[in-house]
Amino acid sequence: MLQSDPLQRLALLLKQEAILHASPSQPIGTPTGTHGGWMLYTWNCTLTAPGALLAGQCVLQALASFESTQLATMGYTAVPIMSSCILQGEGRYTGLCVRQQRKGHSSFRRIDGPRRGGDPGGVVLLDDSISTGSSMLTAIAALEEEGFRVEGCICLVNF
């Protein structure tokens, strides 16, 4: 049966393509330094045309309940998702990338991307997954320190 709901199609694609299993040629490490049996690897979906399209469609559906027109992500994994939303958002959204630390040269920024006027305004934070929430909390703190108001957070997978 062909699924027409983007969320169902994305869930199926993630299940089929975004789970890496440990093997001799593909070790999996955990944040605590132990070996894991599997991990979510959304790059296998979000860096393909069908996966990026579906992820963007699903996040855009969730974004409909927010007022903010600025999207932000910390790290790299949600950049393709954010880019898909910007491309499919009909000019409504701009993106921001949050660094772990302020850049030590060039612009010296911790938040990269177009800032809207003098008042940065509201932001919706995006990520591919949330397990502990520590990346989200770090990004929220960085955005708030720079004067942004974080309206909410959206992720594809919540562990």
Q: What is the pLDDT of residues 106-123, one digit of tens each?
A: 767 778 888 765 566 789
Range with the lowest mean pLDDT among 48-57, 78-87, 101-110, 130-139? 101-110
* pLDDT score of 128 more than 60: yes
Q: How far apart are CA 21 and CA 37, in angstroms?
A: 6
- Within 10 Å of residue 55's Cβ, how many Cβ atoms? 28
59 burial class (0-12, 13-18, 19+ CB within 10 angstroms)? Answer: buried
Q: Considering the chain, what is the average pLDDT of its residues?
A: 89
Tokens 């001799």 belong to which residue? Answer: 24
Q: What is the pLDDT of residues 6-47, one digit of tens each?
A: 999 999 999 999 999 999 999 998 878 888 899 999 999 999
Q: Strand 70-74 vs strand 122-130: parallel, antiparallel, or unpaired?
A: parallel
